[in-house]
Every structure is written in C-alpha cells, then in structure tokens.
Amino acid sequence: MQTLSTQETQAILHEMTVNFNHGGRKITVPPPIFVAMNAEIISYTKGKSITVSFPVTEDQTNPMGMMQGGVIAAAFDNAFGPLSYLVAKRPTTTIDMNIQYIRGVAVGQKVIVTASVEAKGFSTIHMVGEMRTEKEKLLATATTNLLILKIPGGAGE
C-alpha cells in the first residue's frame, strides 16, 4: 500500500473539489468544518486508511470542560468523509455512524483519528475508526456506513 504525504493527499482532495463542481453543484473536499476544526491530515494510505489530527479547544467543550460528544462525532466524520471520497472517487453520504465513548477528552491536547476501510461494495463503504491521544491512549471508537452517490465527476471519470 502506498502512503501519501499530507501535501499529496491535499492535492488529490483539491482536484476532487474542482472535478465535482460542475452543473451548478458545489462540493468542497474536505468540507469547511474540517478547516474550522483545525484538522490536519497526517497520512493517507491509498484505498485503506487516513489519519487526521485535531486540537481540542475550549470552545469544543461540554459543561464538564471535556470535548463534547458531538464534536468527537464531527472529528470522526471529518476523517471518514475525506477517506470515503478518496476511496470512492465520487461523493458519498453517511448512512449511519455509531460511536463508543471510552474516556473523556481534555482541552489542550491533540487527538488523532485513524479511519480505515473494512469493506467497499458497489454502492456502500463500511469503515471503522479510533480516536487516540498523542500518547496513543484510546479515547473513542466508531463505525460507519456510507452510500456512494451516483453523481459523476470524480477523478478518473
């Protein structure tokens, strides 16, 4: 499996954005929320997995001062989404996502989400993910199923 650098992966995602935007459609890969969460692609292994880091900030917290569950879900979605586009080479949409919260996520740390493709069919992709601290302590896990949309315009079309 070929592992690409952050710059190589970003270039592919940028090209996808350009290719998907025709016929009045606007698709941005990665999405604006990826940028708003200060996400950074660490690595992408072609057709298999992506690793993305996220800083945990004060504005992402719940009443107990820990990363809010919905923001944890958004971090997983911000790894699953770009990976699904890279694997399907066309837009996808989430069918479902299940998250298991294992321990609290403190402000000031950076979390690392690794998403991996477990199975890809003609119209769906099944993925699993893990969120860990920089010291590799497991914080949460997730699974998702995504629908590959029949919108033309992906790379290789």
State pLDDT tens for residues 121-136: 999 999 999 999 999 9
Q: What is the pTM of this model?
A: 0.88
Residue 154 belongs to some domain of the structure = no
The number of domains in the chain is 1
Range of the domain at 91: 6-148
Residue 66 belongs to some domain of the structure = yes
Residue 118 belongs to some domain of the structure = yes
What CATH number has the domain bearing residue 143? 3.10.129.10
Residue 33 belongs to some domain of the structure = yes
Residue 122 belongs to some domain of the structure = yes
For 2, 13, 113, 140, the CA distances from 87, given in Å and listed in that order, are: 13, 11, 17, 23
Helices 6-20, 69-88: inter-axial angle, 10-degree rounding? 80
**pLDDT tens, position by position, 19-55:** 776 666 778 778 889 999 999 999 999 999 999 999 9
